[in-house]
Structure 1
Amino acid sequence: MILLLTGILSSVQAQQLKSDTFDVVHYDLHLDIMNFQAKQLNGFAILTLTPKMNQLSYISLDLLSLQVDSVKVEGQPVVSWYQDDTLLRIPLISPVSVGDTFQMRIRYHGTPIVEPAGWGGFHFDSWIAYNLGIAFQANPHNYGRAWFPCIDDFIDRATYDYYITTEAGKTAVCGGLLIDSIVHPDNSITWHWKMNQTIPAYLASVAVASYIKIADIYNGIQTDIPISLYFRPSDTAAVNNLFVNLKNILSVYENHWGAYSFDRVGYVGTIQGAMEHAANIALPVSTLSSGYEWLYAHELSHMWFGDKITCSSAEDMWLNEGWAVFNESLYREGIYGYPAYRSNMNSKLANVLQYCHIKDNGYRALYGIPNEYTYGETVYQKGGVVVHTLRNYLGDSLFFPAISNFLQDYAFQPVSSFQLRDYLTQYTGIDMTPFFDGWVFSPGFPCFVIDSCQMVPSGQNFLTTVFVHQKLKGAPEYYHNNRLFISFIDSLWNTHDFMMEFSGEFGSQTFVLPFKPTLCLADYYDRIADATTDASLRIHSSGDYDFPNTFFRLSITSLADSAFFRVTHNWAAPDSLKTPLPGLTLSDYRYWRIEGIYHVPFQAKGRFFYSRPSHLDDSLLQNLNDSLVILYRKNASEEWQGIPFTRTGTLAGYITVNDLQPGEYTLASWDEYYVGKTEIILTDNKISIHPNPVLGHCTIKVASNHSSVLKIYASSGVLLLKKPLPSGTHELNYDFSRFPAGFYIARLEDTNGHSLAHEKFIVGKR
């Protein structure tokens, strides 16, 4: 008899009950996967269990939308059980206690589900049937329960035997080693696979299709490991081409993280994926091109991060996915060299700083991520760049041995961020609490900038004091125990590298140098994933030069000798105006620093790119009429000031500064109040100023079909000039040489004071 009840236990209560009361130590899964068109699973599961408490009288398991037909405990039929769409509750014939071991056989059938997102679950297609063990839109995300009864969380781990029966011509591929294949009288085949290592249920897998096997052997650091790639015959050439570096990538991971821990290196072709099923990685056949080497390398690294150790909860998913993203860069370093690692990591950081908080609806901490963002940009991409920062915070000589030992000491166990923090503290002797408090447990990023560098001669040396300023991007408080890498450039352009430590908003440190530094640069080698992206170029001729990830282009028209330039795009608000200027709003999001070594004569212009569609300047570009300008200061001790520029574009475009100088640049906008709150836009009302910027005399051309008044305002809003005009076209000459350099507004108003047209201009000095 089957009694269907709903609402017996909440999902949270049920999950807690399963995790705390018993453990499944082994699954035997016997399934017929024969008729793809019917989309049916039919079979039984034998679970070997052991209690975690005394006098346990019932077992609760996860199972989605599949119908249980019968249950036996230790060979004895259970006459009643409870089942709804998510939970299976089975009473035991007699209570069991800690130390007992017993078996439960559950026969079931039905059409397995696929999550609403169309990813996780059990898929049937014309040529393939397969599972994907994670559902993006489910809570919890684990989806082993989509095809067999189990404890479906990140904590419970078990070994597996799979017995999958297919029709003739099909191959069933599961995790672990293929033990046997038995051909039955009707030509159906039962494939027996065995997984000897313990894994969570969501990492169990099966795929059935007309596969061929591409086999090889990897000579690992401890033993030879079989490689088996199961794909369609038509995919053979593409598979051989894509996986040409598989052994090299395995070697990179083993050399850094320790020996491969599973019995087989396995991939299987699917329609969707990719998914790190243990020793049987699901890889979409649409990704079988050389451009997806990073994807199979990412999934392979999960055999260490995610499968060998597993995050203890979804809130700690960065321990799985962030480390796999880091490994996308690490394998490049091992195969293509460190510049490839650095370039890939810099691209990741630029993407994180520009888009992560947009895609995840706010700045988020790595730990404690909400369920809807478990598989979002923060966990993956921010996680990857934070691991990069951790690597350089500790240094390779500590980082790699510490993590390798952590993986070994916690092999086949769930782990948390707190356990990793405490382990690293004990292993390295460095208190990692401040690092984890800032980089892991808090949202946002720090932004480290050098405010100034003071040099005092001392005999043959120079006492060089570096003053640094920590700004914040989406972070609630300043980071502590920071390690910032400082590089000094000498007259021959050699770099001399040091590390300084500081906490809080400001810090300083004095270095004894045997030379007078020409430049002092923060994090020149991109070792820290703070809120800066930068690029450096050595330039030997005039021309146009792009600086990647900085939204800046340098155009050199006159160059006396070779030059060195570094452009830093700071993803944090610039310092505010020392004296606030009514109506002028500086960017609250970003600014640039231009640094260089060059000889005169030198002439260059800079192109600073802006964009609202790319979420670079949302606060400044509210509509098409917003007045975007650029400000400059030589260093942090000076006030921001207006400089001549031209603007190209509306909501996206660039600002060109024709006389580029080293220093800092920021975008800003004028408040609508200072250019007219109630503008009347008529095609016959026009105003233009030439030249602009004004260096002395200028001509103001006015055309209006109304009697009007021309008014000139200072940027502070003070009215400086006023001239009534009849309707028609007028050319007016003015001398602005006696006015201070800065921003001004020429506004044409009707006789009631309504704005007809306006034009902003800059007064400069020769």
Structure 2
Amino acid sequence: MLVKRRSRKFSRGFLFLIFAVLVSCPLQSFTGRPAPATGNGIDSIDILHYNINLVLPDLAKRSIIGITDIQVYTLQDSALNIQLMLEHLIVDSVWINEERDKNILQTGNILNIRLEEPQDKGTTILVTVFYHGIPVHDPHWGGFYINPHAAWNMGVGMTVIPHPYGRTWYPCVDNFTDKASYDYFITIPDTLSAACPGTLEDIFHNHDGTNTWHWSLSDPIPTYLSSVAVSKYTILKDSLQGISGIIPVNYFVPEGKLSEAKSTFSHVPDYLRIFESLFGPYRWEKIGYATVPFQKGAMEHATCISVPEYVLSDTHDFNDLLSHEFSHSWFGNLVTCKTAQDMWLNEGWAVYCEALYREFSNDRADYDRFIQNNHRRVLEYTHIIDGGYYPVYGIPEDITYGSTVYNKGADIIHTLRHFLGDKVFFSTLKKYFRQYAFQNISTREFESFLTNTTHVNLEDFFNTWIYAPGFPHFSLDSSLIIRDRDDYVTVLFLKQRLKGRKDYSYNTPVNVTLLDGTWKTHNEKVNISGPVQKKTLISSFRPVAVMINLDRSVSDATTSAYKVVKHAGSYTFDNCFFKLGGGAGTDSAFFRVVHHWIGPEHSGYPAKMTLSQNRYWSIEGVLPDSSDWQGSFYYNFSRSMKNGYLDTLPPPPSNDKITLLY
């Protein structure tokens, strides 16, 4: 990828010149000679810099006046046409290198600009667009919002295509790959404040009841990470020591919420410390959060994360959300997905970072709880939420921001960490951010990077977990134990079945655990390939139990839990739909429950018997002879979204009952 050229910042004097021109030109809808339909469009230019002048004189009117200067760099010879996007706003005039251009055509959200003469490759052109109107937003999520008290944008539209949604408030090349630096000049009533990416350069007092806030961002970002938030803010300022130096911190919060803000954002230093230790230096010029009156989530705008006002509280209930958005400072903002089909590289990793924050701020057990709860939700709900089983790469654009990308993405990253091991996994991520900083990457390029960096062949991993839908299901069919002098040979017969997919996994490493009667363990990693596999393990003791994936490091179509039970009582096995009770007067026991998210095999059962196609359980462990336990298996006859349509057997007749088979 070409390195972005550093652009020259427009001067303050030029800003006031442009405003003077705006006053002298009547606002009118402009039409002219249409630009050619082919050639020299978005792919033929690179935007180096945006200079956004936005005027919001009266929020109650919900309208904006804009002048955006765009520094355009031509990528092809004979460039004759510049194509920008601007949605639902009226273009008043367009100027090329400070001369008015009449050869423009605004059709829908496309603004075609015909140049007077062809331009050579490598030419820099100044395009200035005057426009006004009432901004639009996606009916589901994203766009530009104005109410009488605040104005803000959310940089993506979840149901619009393309998803980047900068075009709702300024003309731009609206995709994931065109990155530019920015200056923002936001003119608003002097009772309000404006938050934008980058560094606050100045506040101009206009002596007409308005102020102009000038923010400048030197590092290049795509349009969806550009932002503005206007409200009656209190600005809480801080600074943090990062790996590369002192980082200024700004929190924009509503008046009267300072105490709650200090509590809510008190863990931001932990986010910085943990993610820098895992991924490398924070590369941006500030850390920022701006609260907005938005009820549907948050957005990782570069250095100025937009979060809903409801996160402000004296509790820490929103650490997952806040750490997720902050992790985008690496995953998404520093290295950006190349297309919407690669979105798991942004969002799957950000969800996984929620788990990493829990692990390194609390403990591994907290990480495991997050991962296993997420894994259960993926198996139970994701295919319903998204309308089918999909691979995390190549997702249809109407579900770019669905559960497959976010939740299943995090699920398979957990498996990737196991595949590589912690040392290689985290050292490779640091190199990733060094090598691809401020660039874009595709899934295929990410696969090549991992393979070349780790020297591990990841073709089978990506074919199984990234490029295929559904899940493999691994199980132990049977085992045979043979004494061989001082050792014991355990012959394993492993099976692989399929959930929501057609192709088998190959060379998937799964941990196998052997236990003896004193709970002594022997752990070994075996590669599973195809539908049936025979493996041999050698141990110094005679196993009494054989378990696969006890550590739950592989996110296959099972959920499981184990407990060391020392006393009589009631024990819930999370994500397994099982509760254990009883046990009075017994010795300690090792219980493991596996909930299989796939129907049992039918061989050996009466032909007329109807078995669940969606689940079965297995109970494993090391149990004393004196054990006397009872188990409760949870089954719901209500076929609904609430239970993921998991229980689909017809209700039994009134004189019959469901039977649990052993």
TM-score strictly above 0.5: yes
Which of 170, 178, 184 pairs up with 2:200?
178
Instruction: Give runs of aligned pairs for residues 220-239 of structure 1, distance below 5 A.
Output: 220-239=242-261
Instruction: Give runs of aligned pairs for residues 541-690 of structure 1, distance below 5 A.
Output: 541-578=567-604, 581-611=606-636, 612-613=639-640, 614-621=643-650, 629-633=658-662
Which of 137, 146, 151 pairs up with 2:159?
137
Letter in 2 for 1:101: T
The match for 2:545 is 519
CA contact (8 A) 1:587 1:617 kept: no
Per-residue CA deviations over 1:470-520 (Å, capped at 9, x if unaligned) read 121112111111000112223322433221112111223222211122221
The match for 2:486 is 460
Instruction: Give runs of aligned pairs for residues 299-314 of structure 1, distance below 5 A.
Output: 299-314=325-340
CA contact (8 A) 2:517 2:622 kept: no
Per-residue CA deviations over 1:244-264 (Å, capped at 9, x if unaligned) read 211111111111111111101
CA contact (8 A) 1:160 1:196 kept: yes
The match for 2:554 is 528
The match for 1:400 is 426
Letter in 1 for 2:48: V
Letter in 1 for 2:625: V
Instruction: Give runs of aligned pairs for residues 199-348 of structure 1, distance below 5 A.
Output: 199-272=221-294, 273-289=297-313, 290-348=316-374
Letter in 2 for 1:192: H
Partner Cα separation in structure 2 for residue 362 and residue 247 of structure 1: 40
Letter in 1 for 2:30: I
Instruction: Give runs of aligned pairs for residues 28-67 of structure 1, distance below 5 A.
Output: 28-67=51-90
Shift of 1:225: 0.9
The match for 2:124 is 101
Partner Cα separation in structure 2 for residue 433 and residue 277 of structure 1: 34
Letter in 1 for 2:516: D
The match for 2:10 is none
Per-residue CA deviations over 1:517-565 (Å, capped at 9, x if unaligned) read 2221111111111111111111122222211100011122544211111
Instruction: Give runs of aligned pairs for residues 721-732 of structure 1, distance below 5 A.
Output: none
Q: Secondary structure at the match of 2:170?
A: coil
Q: Which consecutive unaligned segments of at least 5 residues does structure 2 have?
A: 1-28
Partner Cα separation in structure 1 for residue 35 and residue 493 of structure 2: 62
RMSD, aligned CA: 1.9
CA contact (8 A) 2:380 2:646 kept: no
Per-residue CA deviations over 1:15-57 (Å, capped at 9, x if unaligned) read xx64421111100001112211101110200000111111011
Partner Cα separation in structure 2 for residue 232 and residue 280 of structure 1: 15
1:2 paired with 2:30, answer yes
1:157 paired with 2:186, answer no
Instruction: Give runs of aligned pairs for residues 379-390 of structure 1, distance below 5 A.
Output: 379-390=405-416
Per-residue CA deviations over 1:691-747 (Å, capped at 9, x if unaligned) read xxxxxxxxxxxxxxxxxxxxxxxxxxxxxxxxxxxxxxxxxxxxxxxxxxxxxxxxx
Per-residue CA deviations over 1:109-154 (Å, capped at 9, x if unaligned) read 110001121x211111232100111111101111100000000001
Q: Which has the higher contact order (CA 8 A, sep 6+)?
A: 2
Which of 79, 87, 105 pairs up with 2:102?
79
CA contact (8 A) 1:558 1:601 kept: no
Q: Secondary structure at the match of 1:536?
A: strand
Per-residue CA deviations over 1:254-280 (Å, capped at 9, x if unaligned) read 111111111011100001240011111
1:31/1:390 Cα in 2 relative to 1: closer, same or farther (>3 Å)?
Answer: same
Which of 511, 522, 526 pairs up with 1:496?
522
The match for 2:5 is none
Partner Cα separation in structure 1 for residue 148 and residue 237 of structure 2: 26
Partner Cα separation in structure 1 for residue 35 and residue 219 of structure 2: 36
Shift of 1:594: 0.3
1:448 paired with 2:474, answer yes
The match for 1:189 is 211
Shift of 1:306: 0.8
Per-residue CA deviations over 1:340-379 (Å, capped at 9, x if unaligned) read 1111111100111110111111111111111111111100
1:627/1:63 Cα in 2 relative to 1: closer, same or farther (>3 Å)?
Answer: farther
Letter in 2 for 1:483: P
Per-residue CA deviations over 1:566-624 (Å, capped at 9, x if unaligned) read 0000111212223x523212221111000122223322222111122313544313787
CA contact (8 A) 2:35 2:103 kept: no
Q: Secondary structure at the match of 2:229?
A: strand
Q: Secondary structure at the match of 1:632?
A: coil
1:369 paired with 2:391, answer no
The match for 1:736 is none
| Farther off after superposition, 201-210 or 94-103 | 94-103
CA contact (8 A) 2:264 2:311 kept: no
Which of 458, 461, 468 pairs up with 1:435?
461
The match for 2:17 is none
Q: Secondary structure at the match of 2:59?
A: coil
Q: Secondary structure at the match of 1:586?
A: coil
CA contact (8 A) 1:18 1:151 kept: no
Partner Cα separation in structure 2 for residue 76 and residue 460 of structure 1: 91
* Larger Rg computed on CA atoms: 1
The match for 2:11 is none
Q: Secondary structure at the match of 2:298?
A: coil
CA contact (8 A) 1:621 1:628 kept: no
Q: Secondary structure at the match of 1:629?
A: coil
Partner Cα separation in structure 1 for residue 57 and residue 653 of structure 2: 61
Q: Secondary structure at the match of 1:103?
A: strand
CA contact (8 A) 1:589 1:616 kept: no
The match for 2:534 is 508
| Farther off after superposition, 442-451 or 460-469 | 460-469
Partner Cα separation in structure 2 for residue 534 and residue 240 of structure 1: 39
Letter in 2 for 1:135: G
1:415 paired with 2:441, answer yes
Q: Secondary structure at the match of 2:388?
A: coil
Partner Cα separation in structure 1 for residue 55 and residue 144 of structure 2: 14
- Could you state the TM-score of these two structures normalised by the residue count of structure 1? 0.79
CA contact (8 A) 2:372 2:559 kept: yes
Partner Cα separation in structure 1 for residue 35 and residue 389 of structure 2: 36
Partner Cα separation in structure 2 for residue 330 and residue 200 of structure 1: 26
1:622/1:370 Cα in 2 relative to 1: closer, same or farther (>3 Å)?
Answer: farther
Q: Secondary structure at the match of 2:634?
A: strand
Partner Cα separation in structure 2 for residue 260 and residue 626 of structure 1: 67
1:347/1:31 Cα in 2 relative to 1: closer, same or farther (>3 Å)?
Answer: same
| Farther off after superposition, 431-440 or 602-611 | 602-611
| Farther off after superposition, 37-46 or 592-601 | 592-601
Letter in 1 for 2:309: V
> Identity rate of aligned residues, in percent?
35
CA contact (8 A) 2:33 2:103 kept: no
Q: Secondary structure at the match of 2:497?
A: strand
Letter in 2 for 1:621: P
Q: Secondary structure at the match of 2:628?
A: strand
CA contact (8 A) 2:240 2:247 kept: yes
Q: Which consecutive unaligned segments of at least 5 residues does structure 1 have?
A: 634-766
Per-residue CA deviations over 1:413-436 (Å, capped at 9, x if unaligned) read 111110111111111111111111
